[in-house]
Amino acid sequence: MACVMDGNGRWAAQRSLPRTAGHRAAEAAVIDVIEAAHTAGVEWLSLYAFSTENWRRPAAEVDVLLRLVRRAIRKHALSLHARGIRCRFLGVSDPRIPPPLARDIADLMALTRDNRRMTLTVAFDHGGRRDIVEAARSLIRDGVPPEQVTEESFARHLPHPDMPEVDLVIRTSGEQRISNFMLWQVAYAEWAFPSVLWPDFRAEHFWECLDVYRRRDRRFGGVQVPTATGKGP
Q: How far is CA 160 from CA 46, 76, 109, 163, 182, in A?
A: 12, 23, 13, 6, 11
103 in contact with another protein (CB under 8 A): yes
Catalytic residues: 6, 54
Stretch that binds another protein, among 26-34, 77-85, 166-174, 204-212 (CB under 8 A): 77-85
Rounded to the nearest 5°, which phi and psi values hold at 192?
Answer: -125, 135
- Which of 97, 139 has the CB closer to another protein? 97
> Of the listed pieces 1-9, 29-37, 111-119, 145-153, which binds another protein according to CB under 8 A?
111-119
The region that residue 7 occupies, defined by phi over 0 for left and psi between -120 and 50 for alpha, beta otherwise, is: left
Stretch in the footprint of another protein (CB under 8 A) among 9-17, 90-98, 194-202, 205-213: 90-98
Q: Which residue spans within 33-180 are E strands per DSSP?
A: 44-51, 85-91, 118-126, 168-171
For another protein, give the closer residue by CB, 91 or 194: 91
Applying CB under 8 A, the residues found at the interface with another protein are: 70-71, 73-74, 77-78, 81, 88-89, 92-93, 95-100, 102-111, 113-114, 159-162
